[in-house]
Amino acid sequence: MNIATRNFPLVPGFFLGCLLLLSTNLLYSQTELSWETSWATAKEQAAASDKVILLNFSGSDWCAPCIKMKQEIFGTEVFRAFAADHLVLLNADFPRRRKNQLSAEQQAQNEQLAEQYNRKGSFPMTVLLRANGSVLTSWEGLPSVSAEDFVKAIRPHEPETKAPTTGQTQVFKRTLLLMGSRFVISVVGQDQTVAEQQIDAAVAEIQRIEHLISSWDETSQTSEINRQAGIAPVKVDTELLELIRRSQKISEITQGAFDISFGSIDKEIWHFDGTMTALPAPDVAKQSVRLINYRNIILDEAAQTIFLKDAGMRIGFGAIGKGYAAEKAKAVLVDAGVTDGIVNAGGDLTVWGHQPDGSPWTIGIANPENKLDAFSYLEISNSAVVTSGNYEKFVEIDGKRYTHIIDPRTGYPVSGLKSVTIICPNAEMADALATSVFVLGKEIGLDLINQMQGVHAILVDDTGEISTSTQIELH
């Protein structure tokens, strides 16, 4: 992937996400909540009562955000009244204290639920499900919204596709969890059966990508590369070799702010689950990133091998993988005849064509203070939009917020920005640049973006001030 370093022309019309907040009228009564712990029972209840399942992953005796969510969201009368009429509540708890230990059967069930719906191991994690177990939507971390706004966001969703029809152009949509994130695949078409087949092909492609690049899948080529770090080169598919080569190029351009060897960081010194009360010493933080160095990822294109030079090194594609998967899924859909659609890979969006009425796609830029709200809208027809934010995972120490985004060069969390949105032709590039700009900071980050052709940025700093790259207008 060649990246230009010169001024760029204005890219017409942009977009970022259509946020639909559903209104609700709730009766305020002293309603007691009943949380199921059996997955089978929850599904039976949901099917019998025509309700949806709210699955909550919690750490009841150690996770401060989980406890806070129970008090400030689930414990409110507005939520209790709503849940009584619309939800089957299912709690998958992961306590740590011996006195709270669950039965072996319960532990096994919760682990299975986590494997299916919470691959990242996030706490708290809330997933809204149909009775058949398919995902409607999900939220990672403690929502930075009121209980009222949370209820508006979790109102039971209408079926995402209409009854099979022909002749009427419409949007067919599917939501599911892939790569540990919420994916929404939307295609414009006239026949539901055809649309479902097209979406099936896109899902299969995303699953293939996940198996290729996942560092959690012990059978993936990425895991084998990590196992052989400091020992021997690993022969890989051309596709993975090229992805790593492009990643190194982005590392060079961003001066190491983006680095796929970030997987080498010592994760034990940072805990963004509310249990951390003090910062690590500077020497400890620096030591934690000692193995992070993209230059020590050795590519042999002739032999088609990857070698991690130092023992203990690890690579991971968390800052580029979803964008890459979105682009690959788009390619499959286009090859299948989809001329208009969206692939939303956990907030990494690639968009092409138009809505059924011929207008550009319109998406709202999430407000860092309330991600269920939008502070601006962009219209776009053929581009990618990715937002990286610090509002989902963070820890507060001595009154200061530290984001989960770590500078791979220092070992410390970055500061100064609340969110970064990148708009460019390719979701893979946008994904990598969003994290990079977060690490580089506002001034250096905007300077970089302003030198890249066809790339735009929208930044919100810690004071709430909005800054943009040149030649972009917000509405």
249 and 148 fall within a common domain: no
Q: At what angle do helices 427-440 and 238-253 cross, to 10 degrees?
A: 30
> Among residues of the chain, what percentage have pLDDT more than 70?
88
Give the distance from CA 420 to its chain's centroid. 14
Residue 422 lies in a domain: no
Query: In this structure, are 134 and 226 located in the same domain?
Result: no
Domain boundary among 154, 176, 208: 154
What's the mean pLDDT in 338-343? 98
Query: Of the candidates 308, 343, 369, which is a domain's last residue?
Result: 308
* Range with lowest mean pLDDT among 201-205, 274-278, 327-331, 357-361: 274-278
How far is 175 from 382, CA to CA, in rounded Å?
22
Domain membership of residue 105 as a residue range: 35-154
Residue with the larger pLDDT of the pair 160 and 81: 81
Angle at Cα 263 formed by Cα 259 and Cα 266, nearest 5°? Answer: 120
> Which CATH number goes with the domain that contains 140?
3.40.30.10
Same domain, 137 and 244: no
Distance CA 309, CA 103 (A): 44
- In order, the DSSP letters of 2-61 are ----S--PPPP--------PPP-------PPP-EE--HHHHHHHHHHHT-EEEEEEE-TT
Clarify whether residues 118 and 40 are in a common domain. Answer: yes
Residues 44 and 146 occupy one common structural domain? yes
- Looking at the fold, whether 70 and 148 belong to one and the same domain comes out as yes
Contact predicate 297/291, CB 8 Å: no
What DSSP character marks residue 158? P
Torsions phi, psi of 193, nearest 5?
Answer: -60, -45
Residue 328 domain flag: no
- Cβ atoms 176, 134 nearer than 8 A: yes
Whole-number pLDDT of residue 269: 81
The tokens for 124 are 């708290």
Residue 182: inside a domain: no
Alpha carbon distance 175, 206 (integer Å): 13
pLDDT, one tens digit per residue, over 179-200 is 878 899 999 999 999 999 999 9
Going by the DSSP 8-state scheme, the letter that residue 309 receives in this structure is S
Residues 294, 242 contacting (CB under 8 angstroms) = no
Find the CATH number of the domain harbouring 250: 1.10.3980.10
Q: Report the pLDDT averaged over residues 379-408.
A: 83
For residues 204, 44, 107, 101, the Cα torsion angle rounded to the nearest 10 degrees is 150
Centre a 10 Å sphere on the Cβ of residue 448 and count the other Cβ atoms it contains: 21
In-domain check, residue 140: yes
* Number of domains forming the structure of the chain: 2
**Residue finishing a domain among 279, 308, 337:** 308
Residue 470 or 28, more confident: 470
**Three-state DSSP class for residue 4:** coil
Both 227 and 143 in one domain: the answer is no
The per-residue pLDDT of the chain, averaged, comes to 86
Residue 237 resides in a domain: yes
Return the half-sphere exposure (C-beta side, CA atoms, 13 A cut-off) of residue 270. 24
Q: Is residue 216 part of a domain?
A: no
| Mean pLDDT across 386-414 | 81
Tell whether the torsion through CA atoms of 16, 259, 140 and 200 is positive or negative: positive
**Model pLDDT for residues 90-120, shown as the tens digit of each residue:** 999 999 999 999 999 999 999 999 999 998 8
**How does DSSP classify residue 427?**
H
pLDDT score at 423: 96
The answer to whether residues 55 and 127 touch, using CB atoms and an 8 Å cutoff, is yes
- Token pair of 179 as six digits: 């790569």
The residue written with tokens 């309330």 in the block is 370
132 lies in the same domain as 239:
no
Within this chain, do residues 147 and 231 fall inside the same structural domain, yes or no? no
